[in-house]
C-alpha cells in the first residue's frame, strides 16, 4: 500500500512497489487521456531550495496532466525562508495548503526532517549530493522500456560519482535486481562514496570495478550513464576546473561501443556529451526526461491513493 507514504530513499519501496509504479507509469505513457482526471481537486506543492528544470517542471507537468493543481517556490529567497523560517515550520504550513509535497534541498537528509513535520507525503526531489529517488524511477522506467529488463545488465557510471546523487540512487535500486554488474568510471577524487561501496555493493556481493578510462571499458557496457561534474558541490573552483573535462563522450568513443548500448544522462549536460552524439539512436537522455514525467505521474497517483 503506497497511499500516504513518503519517498525519501530509493530503498523506501519494495521491489514489488517499484514494479507497481513502473507498470502504472507505462500504462499512463501509452494512454495519457485515461488518467487526465485522476487527481482532480488535489494540490501538489513543489518546494525547491535548489535550482531545477526537469524535476520541478516534470512534477508540475505530471500533476497538471493528472487534473490536479500546483503551488510552490522555485528558489527559497522568494519565500519566508529568506526571513529565517525553518524547514520544519515551512512544511507544517505547506501541509495545510497541499495534499503532497515534492522538495529539493541542498542539505543531505533535509527531506527526512521535512517528513517528520509534514502531515502529507513528502517526496525527495534531490537532497545535496545524497539521493534522488524520483530520478531513479525515471531511470528504471527508461531502462525497462528500452532494454526490456532491469537485470543481467552491465552498467557503466561515468563522471562525478562522488557528488552525483542520481548515481547513488540508481546503484542502490539496480543492486536489487539479479546479476547486474557495475563499472564505475571516474577520476580518483570523484569516486563513489565509501558507504555505497561497503553497504550496497560489497555487502550484497555485487560485481563492480573502478576505473579511470572510459575508452577501455565502453565496449563492455549495456548502459552508459553519463553525469556532469557537480560544480556546485566543490569546495574550491581550482579542483572543479582541473576535473571538469575529465570525460567527454563523442562519436569516436561511441564507435567503440556495442550497437545495443544505450546512453543515459539525468541532465543537465554541460559538455560531457558532445552534441553530435544526440543524433545517435543510442542516445536516450531526452526520452529519459520524458519518462521522468510519467514516473512522477504514477508516483503522485499512488502516494495520493487515487488509483
Ligand atoms: N535530472 C535532474 O534532476 O535535473 P534538474 O536538476 O534540472 O531537476
Same domain, 114 and 139: no
CB 160 within 8 A of CB 166: no
Q: Residue 173 falls within a domain, yes or no?
A: yes
Q: Residue 26 falls within a domain, yes or no?
A: yes
Q: Residue 265 falls within a domain, yes or no?
A: yes
Q: Is 282 a catalytic residue?
A: no
Same domain, 272 and 184: yes
Q: Residue 81 falls within a domain, yes or no?
A: yes
Residue 16's nearest CA partner among 24, 28, 6, 27 is 24
Same domain, 152 and 192: yes
Q: Residue 92 falls within a domain, yes or no?
A: yes
How far apart, in whole angstroms, are the C-alpha atoms of residue 25 and residue 5?
18
Same domain, 179 and 279: yes
Same domain, 260 and 151: yes
Q: What is the pTM of this model?
A: 0.97
Distance from residue 205's CA to the centre of ligand 1 (Å): 31
Same domain, 217 and 266: yes
Confirm or deny that 256 is annotated as ligand binding. Answer: no
Same domain, 140 and 268: yes
Distance from residue 166's CA to the centre of ligand 1 (Å): 9
Distance from residue 148's CA to the centre of ligand 1 (Å): 25
Query: How confident is the model at residue 78, as a pLDDT?
Result: 87
Query: For 144, what's the count of Cα atoms within 13 Å in the CB-facing half-sphere?
Result: 20
Same domain, 24 and 73: yes
Q: Is 54 in the pocket of ligand 1 (CB under 6 A)?
A: yes
How far apart, in whole angstroms, are the C-alpha atoms of residue 224 and residue 26?
23
Same domain, 222 and 284: yes
Q: Is 293 in the pocket of ligand 1 (CB under 6 A)?
A: no
> Which of 30, 31, 83, 259 is labelled catalytic?
83
Same domain, 97 and 141: no
Same domain, 122 and 180: no
Confirm or deny that 243 is annotated as ligand binding. Answer: no
Q: What is the DSSP letter of 278?
A: G
CB 204 within 8 A of CB 229: no
- What the block records as the C-alpha cell of 262 is 544505450
Q: Residues in the chain with pLDDT < 70?
A: none
By residue range, what is the domain housing residue 106? Answer: 10-129+292-304
Number of domains in the chain: 2
Q: Is 266 in the pocket of ligand 1 (CB under 6 A)?
A: yes
Q: Is 56 a catalytic residue?
A: no
Angle (CA) 40 295 3, round 5°: 55
How far apart, in whole angstroms, are the C-alpha atoms of residue 194 and residue 131?
15
- What is the dihedral angle through the alpha carbons of 20, 24, 29, 33, rounded to the nearest 10 degrees? -170
Residue 270 neighbours by CB distance under 10 Å: 12
Q: Is 52 in the pocket of ligand 1 (CB under 6 A)?
A: yes
- What the block records as the C-alpha cell of 70 is 500546483
Same domain, 274 and 201: yes
Q: Residue 3 falls within a domain, yes or no?
A: no
Query: How confident is the model at residue 223, as a pLDDT?
Result: 98
Residue 141's nearest CA partner among 7, 31, 284, 304 is 284
Angle (CA) 15 143 291, round 5°: 95
Edge-to-edge strands, sheet with 154-158: 208-211, 181-185, 154-158, 223-226, 262-264
Q: Which of 46, 49, 54 most suits a substitution to test ligand 1, by most atoms within 8 Å of the C-beta?
A: 54
Q: Is 135 in the pocket of ligand 1 (CB under 6 A)?
A: yes
Q: Residue 4 falls within a domain, yes or no?
A: no
> Which of 54, 105, 162, 302 is labelled catalytic?
54
Residue 8's nearest CA partner among 166, 174, 123 is 123
Q: Residue 1 falls within a domain, yes or no?
A: no
* DSSP per residue, 3-60: TT--BSSGGGS-HHHHHHHHHHHHHHHH-GGGGTTTTTT-EEEEEESS--SHHHHHHH
CATH of the domain at 84: 3.40.50.1370
Confirm or deny that 282 is annotated as ligand binding. Answer: no
Amino acid at each position: 500500500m503506497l497511499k500516504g507514504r513518503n519517498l525519501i530513499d530509493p530503498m523506501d519501496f519494495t521491489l514489488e512497489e517499484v514494479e507497481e509504479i513502473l507498470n502504472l507509469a507505462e500504462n499512463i505513457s501509452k494512454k495519457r487521456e485515461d488518467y487526465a482526471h485522476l487527481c482532480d481537486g488535489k494540490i501538489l506543492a513543489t518546494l525547491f531550495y535548489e535550482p531545477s528544470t526537469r524535476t520541478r517542471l516534470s512534477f508540475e507537468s505530471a500533476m497538471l496532466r493528472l487534473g490536479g493543481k500546483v503551488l510552490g517556490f522555485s528558489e527559497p529567497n522568494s519565500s519566508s525562508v529568506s526571513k529565517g523560517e525553518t524547514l520544519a515550520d515551512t512544511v507544517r504550513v505547506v501541509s495545510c495548503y497541499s495534499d503532497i509535497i515534492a522538495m529539493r534541498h541542498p542539505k543531505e537528509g533535509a527531506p527526512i526532517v521535512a517528513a517528520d513535520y509534514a502531515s502529507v507525503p513528502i517526496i525527495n526531489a534531490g537532497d545535496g549530493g545524497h539521493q534522488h529517488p524520483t530520478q531513479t524511477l525515471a531511470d528504471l522506467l527508461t531502462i525497462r522500456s528500452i532494454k526490456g529488463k532491469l537485470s543481467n545488465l552491465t552498467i557503466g557510471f561515468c563522471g562525478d560519482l562522488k557528488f552525483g546523487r542520481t548515481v547513488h540512487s540508481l546503484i542502490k535500486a539496480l543492486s536489487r535486481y539479479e546479476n547486474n554488474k557495475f563499472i564505475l568510471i571516474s577520476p580518483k577524487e570523484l569516486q563513489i562514496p565509501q558507504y555505497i561501496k561497503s553497504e550496497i555493493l560489497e555487502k550484497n556481493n555485487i560485481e563492480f570495478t573502478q576505473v579511470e578510462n572510459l575508452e577501455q571499458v565502453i565496449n563492455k557496457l549495456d548502459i552508459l550513464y553519463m553525469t556532469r561534474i557537480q560544480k556546485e558541490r566543490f569546495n574550491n573552483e581550482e579542483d572543479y576546473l582541473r576535473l571538469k573535462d575529465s570525460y567527454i563522450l563523442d562519436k569516436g568513443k561511441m564507435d567503440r561501443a556495442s550497437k545495443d548500448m544505450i546512453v543515459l544522462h539525468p541532465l543537465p549536460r554541460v559538455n560531457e556529451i558532445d552534441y553530435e552524439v544526440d543524433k545517435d539512436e543510442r542516445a536516450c537522455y531526452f526520452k529519459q526526461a520524458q519518462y521522468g514525467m510519467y514516473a512522477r505521474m504514477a508516483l503522485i497517483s499512488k502516494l495520493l491513493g487515487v488509483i
